[in-house]
Amino acid sequence: MHLLFSSIKKLLFFLFALAIISSCKNNKTENTKSEATAVSQNSASLFKKYNLDKIKLPAGFKIEVYAETPDARSLCVSPNGTLFVGTRSKKVYAITDENHDGKADKVYVIASGLNVPNGVAFKDGSLYIGTISTIYRLDSIESRLDNPPAPVVVYDKYPSDTHHGPKFIAFGPDNKLYVPVGAPCNICIPEPPHGTITRINADGSGFEIYATGIRNSVGFAWNPTNKELWFTDNGRDELGDDIPSDELNTAPKAGMNFGYPYCHEGDILDPEFGKGKSCLDYTPPVKKLGAHVASLGMRFYTGNMFPADYKNAIFIAEHGSWNRSTLVGYRVVVAKMNSNGSFTDPVPFAEGWLQNVTNVNGRPVDVQVLADGSLLVSDDYKGAVYRISYKAL
């Protein structure tokens, strides 16, 4: 009996240990052995497949499929021209244009098993990946696309909330990595670092909060003329179809407060949290972008392909509304820079992913300027990256 009991005890201990080991493995990121997928060069077939005939652009512009990429979200490009694509699933992709003809040639899966690896940023040969709570780094990635290294943890102390948890990340002119932390709610008083844009050094040290009063920013860039930070911010829900507006903001210095949750769009006090507050105490937006359009990725146009009046213009991807009685957004808008450095109100640039107010054919997430001056647009709804180019008529 004693021997039987001892054997059963050993078996139970073995099974328990095996379960623990299995659990630990499931919590680790996967080291991906990548095989390149060739990109279809049948542009006419892809154009038809993605209904790009529905997309309206200004005269002289055309749109085509650059690469098919499931759940394509945030974009960044290396100095060598490799495009990196984050997702809200578990994978990160790299897309190469090997002969630099403006057409993608291969798609690689360079990371998998990650927790919403939405953000991607490239610096000094390494790709930084922003997940819900952790920043990772893939070193010397361009020389290892077919056999990518295991992700190295850079910083793992961001909150684990999934509500407004996906992160857009980018390196600023100060060589620091900027990381937003959305409010974990529609409307609440967020506990820091929620409701902010933070920044850290490339090695993960020096964490600090750069700006506050931000509900959920999923896109930002630096003005090429003065190196000041500009960012989009999504307005709260449940105040009706037409308020409050999404915001285009600028934060030229650290310590600025943009009002959330007390003041929205610069002039609307929150009916609950705005009591006893004044919108004059907070920094107003530079532009109101419209209610519920879901303004996400933005970039300044620094290329030379487009007409001269697009120089330094701001392109913004509108992901589109989800709880408005009539759908809005689902397009890319542009605000052009005036001669004095100010910007025009945004106007439609690429639209048609929403047909007849109800038929959704795509959801733009991010925009990215390539070295040749063309503009990429990611679409997580159809799983593709589009390329918009220009040729004078």
pLDDT, residue 23, reads 35
Residue 87 CB partners (closer than 8 Å, separation 6+): 70, 71, 72, 73, 93, 116, 117, 118, 380
Does some domain include residue 28? no
pLDDT range class, residue 21, cuts 50, 70, 90: very low
pLDDT of 17 > 60? The answer is no
Over residues 164-185, the mean pLDDT reads 98
Does some domain include residue 263? yes
Over residues 109-114, the mean pLDDT reads 98
Does some domain include residue 317? yes
Does some domain include residue 354? yes
Does some domain include residue 300? yes
Over residues 198-223, the mean pLDDT reads 98
pLDDT of 24 > 50? The answer is no
Does some domain include residue 19? no
Q: Which residue has the higher pLDDT, 387 or 9?
A: 387
Q: How far apart are CA 147 and CA 189, in angstroms?
A: 44
Over residues 3-19, the mean pLDDT reads 38
pLDDT, residue 42, reads 81
178 closest CA partner among 141, 218, 138: 218
pLDDT of 259 > 70? The answer is yes
CB atoms near residue 79 (< 10 Å): 9
pLDDT, residue 393, reads 86
pLDDT, residue 126, reads 98
Over residues 332-338, the mean pLDDT reads 98
- Residue range 220-239, pLDDT digits in tens: 999 999 999 999 999 999 99
Q: How far apart are CA 267 and CA 278, in angstroms?
A: 9
- Residue range 27-82, pLDDT digits in tens: 345 555 666 888 877 889 999 999 999 999 999 999 999 999 999 999 999 999 99
Q: What is the CATH number of the domain that holds 88?
A: 2.120.10.30
Q: Which residue has the tokens 């095996």?
A: 18
CA angle 285, 288, 294 (to 5 degrees): 110
The mean of the pLDDT values for the chain is 92
Residue 306: strand, helix, or coil: coil
pLDDT, residue 33, reads 63
Over residues 285-305, the mean pLDDT reads 98
Does some domain include residue 24? no
Alpha-helical (H) ranges within the chain are: 2-26, 43-49
Buried b (16+ CB within 10 A) or exposed e, 203-214: ebeeeeebbbbb
Counting the structural domains of the chain, the total is: 1
pLDDT of 10 > 70? The answer is no
Does some domain include residue 43? no
Phi/psi for 355 (5° steps) reads: -115, 135
Q: Which residue has the higher pLDDT, 8 or 283?
A: 283
- Domain range for 76 is 52-390
**Chain centroid to CA 379:** 11
145 closest CA partner among 25, 37, 27: 37
